[in-house]
């Protein structure tokens, strides 16, 4: 995981649940039309930094069917929130349990939605970050931000960034080829990008 995640995990991971619950929304009855209207959900955590509130919650706003279709176990996703005072990340952990004995043990995926900017992320991981786009959205691709077998995409949003950090859990002796660390991530990112909201 990139520098934000290392710093945040080293300081505090305050909430881990065995599964994320349904999105807490408020429904308002419009008496003139009889229609029900959903309001925007308040973020689970806010900080005193003056940074924007995080409006995308990875455990609540990524559809389970999309994550399941990608092979991740949405039934066992876990909250992993990181309030740091000067910035915040709302996190969600997934596993991709596609064991292939002697080949791989599957992937671990952390999705972190934070109110830091894409420029801040680039400065933090400039040695491994390459500017790119996902479905036209400004993004960074980071190969090995915290070590071997790791791939991260940082996507720009109106409040900051969403990080998708995947760890390849190998099931064989010797190293995983570097060109495999991000294998399949481009297609996966294209499938989840529409759910994270507008970019500025």
Q: pLDDT tens across 151-183, in order?
A: 999 999 999 999 999 988 777 777 878 888 898
Banded model confidence at residue 103, pLDDT cuts 50, 70, 90: low
| pLDDT (tens digit per residue) in 108-163 | 899 999 999 999 999 999 999 999 999 999 999 999 877 788 999 999 999 999 99
pLDDT of residue 40: 58
Whole-number mean pLDDT of the chain?
Answer: 78
Of residues 18 and 92, more confidently modeled: 92
Q: How far apart are CA 90 and CA 145, in angstroms?
A: 19
Lowest mean pLDDT among 23-32, 33-42, 53-62: 23-32
Those residues with Cβ within 8 angstroms of residue 68's Cβ, 6 or more apart along the chain or in another chain = 74
Query: Where in the chain are the domains?
Result: 3-14+52-195
What is the mean pLDDT of the segment spanning 6-35? Answer: 36
Banded model confidence at residue 191, pLDDT cuts 50, 70, 90: very high
3-state SS string over 51-103?
CCCCCCCHHHHCCHHHHHHCCCCHHHCEECCEECCCCEEEEEEEEECCCECCC
pLDDT of residue 2: 54
pLDDT of residue 3: 58
pLDDT of residue 67: 93
Give the chain's end-to-end CA distance (angstroms, integer): 24
Scan for tokens 């709302």, then name that residue: 90
């Amino acid at each position: 995981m990139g520098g934000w995640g290392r710093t945040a995990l080293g300081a505090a991971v305050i909430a881990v649940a065995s599964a994320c619950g349904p999105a807490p929304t408020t429904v308002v009855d419009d008496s003139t039309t009889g229609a029900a209207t959903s309001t925007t959900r308040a973020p689970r955590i806010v900080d005193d930094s003056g940074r924007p509130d995080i409006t995308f919650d990875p455990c609540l706003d990524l559809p389970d069917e999309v994550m399941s279709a990608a092979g991740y176990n949405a039934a066992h996703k876990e909250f992993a929130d990181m309030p740091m005072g000067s910035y915040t990340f709302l996190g969600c952990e997934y596993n991709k349990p596609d064991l292939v004995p002697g080949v791989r043990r599957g992937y671990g995926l952390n999705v972190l939605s934070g109110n830091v900017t894409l420029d801040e992320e680039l400065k933090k991981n400039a040695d491994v970050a390459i500017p790119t786009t996902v479905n036209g959205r400004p993004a960074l691709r980071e190969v090995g931000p915290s070590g071997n077998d790791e791939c991260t995409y940082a996507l720009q949003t109106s409040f900051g960034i969403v990080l998708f950090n995947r760890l390849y859990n190998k099931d064989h002796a010797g190293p995983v080829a570097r060109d495999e660390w991000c294998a399949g991530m481009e297609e996966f990112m294209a499938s989840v990008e529409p759910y994270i909201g507008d970019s500025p």
